[in-house]
Amino acid sequence: MRVQPGASRSGLAGLHGTELKVRIKAPPVEGKANDALLEFLAETLRVRRSACEIVRGDKSRSKVVLVRGTEEALARAILVAK
């Protein structure tokens, strides 16, 4: 997942190479963008916020995110449809 913090609004922005690009309104300060990303994913995928976790890339724009409580195929379908 490729994250663009400090965007004018949060939302999905297609692909960045092979990664899903997500724009996040929150600034990249003190973990605010990471928190906003996880909140955005939880809301979009209709899972609890605690089910979303950044596995790798905490301080990078490229991140690996784990989402529990949903099937990978379903999550991909929801994110692509948005």
What are the tens digits of pLDDT across the range 6-61?
A: 999 999 998 888 889 999 999 999 999 999 999 999 999 999 999 999 999 999 99
- Amino acid (one-letter) located at 31: G
Q: How confident is the model at residue 71 (pLDDT cuts 50, 70, 90)?
A: confident
Domains plus CATH for the chain?
2-81 (3.30.1200.10)
**CA–CA separation, 23 vs 37, rounded Å?**
8
**pTM beyond cutoff 0.85:** yes
At residue 49's C-alpha, the angle toward residues 43 and 54, to 5°, is 105
